[in-house]
Structure 1
Amino acid sequence: MNTAAAVAAGLAGLGLGASLIIAIGAQNAFVLRQGVRREHIGIVIAICIASDVVLIGLGVAGAGALFTAVPWLVEVARWAGAAFLLFYAVLAARRAIRPAVLSVDRSARPAATARGVALTCLALTWLNPHVYLDTLVLLGSVASTHGELRWAFGAGAAVASAIWFTLLGLGARALAPLFARPLAWRVLDVVIAAVMVVVALTLLLPVFS
């Protein structure tokens, strides 16, 4: 295998992976919130990275063809994802309305369990059909154009995911002083609720168009 060609394929995967991952969405909003709260962020980062590695690997291996062959799988993911996102939007809106739970200080607010945070992160990741279209279909299709170097391309995309979620989750801690103010939490949760609703609507619009 040509080393230079492998590096080029890896960088291509890194670039495309980053362009797909670094966008305002349900998963990124959740990672940001947990990072600011300093609450089980290690678990969240690990789940996001591991999920992307698995999905990217499946895409490179050609699993994206399954969604093309069985269209109803996309529809199931679409409706389940939209329902969960709308539910989470309601929870975020309720948090914005109730300032008593909008504290950075853990002793001043109910602590979320590691299990609850993990399940929410898994749902936001695996119930979003966009993640399948991005990783299995789009990344998988582009990876296939690299022939025997497709795994180098996939590795680059996986590295992009690892870098982004680590920076987002741990970097959010620097914002903690800002979020010592209840108003900042209100704004964040309003934004999160809005993002969830917008993402849910983008999932449902093709159904009604």
Structure 2
Amino acid sequence: MTDRAQKVMKYILESGADEYDSVKEKLMDHFHGDETAEKYLNKFKKASKKPGEKIYDFAIRLKEIFKYAYPDAYMQDSFQIILQQKFIDGLDEKLQMKVKYKTFQTFDELVSETRKYSVRLDVIEENEEKHEFVNQISKTSDVSKLREKLELVELKQLIEKQNEKHSESVKAVVAALKDEFKSISAAQCTKQSDMSLRMLELTKAVNRESGERVPP
């Protein structure tokens, strides 16, 4: 014992009490003297399994409260039924359905059976969570594939539009060439050097529009 408990124990021993029952009684009176049966009864009524609390831990805690709530009768069979029912009421709904309509000879038997069901439910829920996780991954993969397909379709459409744009530009240049040839008179055809230069400029323009490499 340390701190306050050590000081109280020293005081009790110095007062002459050296028998176990006598020491226990004085310790209980000191630390729990103001805790009446009514107070424990209220605790018992409100008691339920805490989130993450183990089945055995809940059973021990409930049994301890029950003992102080009914100090003179908690060992009687009729009161054991009250303890069992309160234990079941304090469980979550899934566990309640597993043990609610079964008959148990003792409180310990009820606790042991409840613990088995709790372990099984934990395994089932864990498997369900894994299955749901796999499904989510699969859905994410399907969405990614669909997105890739859409992106490819959009890219193909963009290329087609660009090709159409270049095609129209080329057609416009060719039409301009035809008009140019029509406007050239027979006398002007002898000017080969001037014509060659103009053809070269037009060719470069066509190549630029179509994205081809422009010759030097």
* TM-score interval, smaller chain: under 0.3
TM-score if structure 2 supplies the norm length?
0.17
Using the size of structure 1 for normalisation, the TM-score is 0.17
- Report which structure shows greater RCO (CA 8 Å, sep ≥6): 1
* Larger helix fraction of residues: 1
Q: Find the structure with the greater CA-based Rg.
A: 2
